[in-house]
């Protein structure tokens, strides 16, 4: 891929899984290998976000992870850094750090500890955008945590900052219809990413998305699917999306920790990670029967990708 840093965010931007050593530190060598593999596989950039376990990292380690990712992605593709926090002050501080580290864009979810009104959520995102010069991806993660962001908040932010500064990643259910509502309400100006892991990618692509942010564990399948959609090869798209969707359905069934457990298991299965260590505590762990089904589906997906 010929990467231009001046190009608008676009394409397949996988969310990286954070590898840990037994002592709890970030495994920097494994992270570098993961990023190399992402770009070699055809990613347009890399992302640090929820399945990177950012919410479970102390601030110094969160800063370290952002710096490692931005440095490694430099000149190869986009780097998007999640800066969502429970306070506006903290989110702005994280955004400023991401800009200093060389990020292409930042992404943020709203605070999740309080049920905020639209005015407070709008002010939170506006403050982040005003604290930096980078684009901001406004992420509604209510499919996993928090509450749905009102359409009015999206429209106000787009009007205030414009489509070059504000991108959207709506994840409230039902994903497709909500995406279309945002697209139509902005007369197609909204630049939208989907984050379903691939399970809704065909549907969302038809609705005019700018790109997708899946996990890294199934990146080769998502890139193959994206390329099939770009080529308007419907037969190939469905051939890939059906086993891919079955795998992601297993991840979704256990929420965010389901994604984390299965994704890290697959990263180890691929030989990219030496272990499946997660930041504790977690609400769900991979059981033997689910693992066996993951193995069966992964084998089917691999056959399709040959």
pLDDT digit string, tens, across residues 216-240 = 999 999 999 999 999 999 999 999 9
Query: Domain for residue 291, yes or no?
Result: no
Q: Which of 20, 19, 14, 18 is nearest to 39 (CA)?
A: 14
Question: What is the reported pTM?
Answer: 0.96
Please list, in sequence order, all residues whose beta carbon lies within 8 angstroms of the beta carbon of residue 238, skipping any fewer than 6 positions away: 202
Q: How many domains does the chain have?
A: 1
Residue numbers belonging to the annotated binding site = 213
Q: Is residue 128 part of a domain?
A: yes
The span from the CA of 298 to the CA of 218, in Å, is 9
DSSP 221-279: HHHHHHHHHHTT-HHHHHHHHHHHHHHHHHHHTTHHHHHHHHHHHHHHHTTS-S----P
Quote the Cα angle for 161-164-166, to 5°.
55
- Exposure letters 65-94 (e unless 16+ CB within 10 A, then b): bbbbbbebbeebbbbbbbbbbeebeebbbb
Which contiguous run of DSSP H or E holds residue 219? helix 219-230
pLDDT tens digits, residue range 123-169? Answer: 999 999 999 999 999 999 877 777 789 999 999 999 999 999 999 99
For residues 250-261, average pLDDT:
90
Quick check: is 90 in a domain?
yes
In a domain, 256, yes or no: no
* Inside any domain, residue 271: no
Residue 275 lies in a domain: no
Task: Provide the domain limits for residue 55.
Answer: 11-216
Q: Is residue 6 part of a domain?
A: no
Q: Which residue has the tokens 């005003």?
A: 130
Tell me the average pLDDT of the chain.
95
Instruction: Give the annotated binding-site residues for pyruvate.
Output: 213
- Contact between 165 and 135 under an 8 Å Cβ cutoff? The reply is yes
* C-alpha distances out from residue 21 to 30, 47, 254, 258, Å: 10, 21, 25, 21
pLDDT at 237: 98
What is the CATH classification number for the domain harbouring 55?
3.20.20.70
151 belongs to a structural domain: yes
């Amino acid at each position: 891929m010929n990467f231009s840093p001046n190009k608008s965010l676009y394409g397949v931007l996988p969310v990286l899984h954070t590898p840990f050593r037994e002592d709890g530190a970030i495994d920097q060598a494994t992270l570098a290998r993961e990023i190399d593999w992402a770009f070699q596989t055809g990613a347009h950039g890399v992302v640090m976000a929820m399945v990177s376990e950012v919410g479970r990292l102390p601030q110094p380690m969160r800063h370290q992870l952002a710096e490692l990712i931005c440095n490694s992605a430099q000149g190869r593709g986009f780097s998007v850094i999640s800066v969502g926090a429970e306070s506006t002050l903290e989110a702005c501080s994280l955004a400023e750090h991401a800009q200093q580290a060389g990020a292409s864009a930042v992404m943020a979810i709203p605070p999740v500890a309080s049920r905020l009104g639209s005015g407070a959520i709008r002010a939170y995102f506006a403050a982040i955008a005003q604290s930096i010069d980078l684009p901001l991806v406004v992420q509604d993660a209510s499919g996993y945590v928090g509450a749905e962001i009102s359409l009015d908040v999206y429209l106000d932010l787009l009007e205030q900052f414009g489509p070059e500064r504000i991108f959207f990643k709506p994840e409230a259910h039902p994903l497709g219809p909500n995406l279309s509502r945002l697209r139509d309400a902005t007369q197609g100006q909204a630049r939208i990413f989907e984050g379903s892991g691939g399970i809704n990618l065909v549907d969302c692509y038809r609705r005019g998305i700018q790109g997708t942010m899946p996990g890294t564990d199934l990146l080769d399948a998502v890139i193959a699917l994206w390329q099939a959609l770009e080529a308007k090869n419907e037969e190939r798209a469905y051939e890939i999306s059906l086993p891919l969707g079955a795998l992601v359905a297993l991840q979704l069934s256990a929420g965010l920790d389901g994604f984390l457990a299965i994704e890290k298991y697959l990263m180890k299965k691929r030989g990219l990670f030496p272990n499946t260590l997660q930041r504790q505590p977690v609400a769900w762990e991979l059981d033997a029967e689910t693992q066996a089904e993951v193995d069966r589906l992964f084998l089917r997906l691999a056959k399709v990708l040959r």
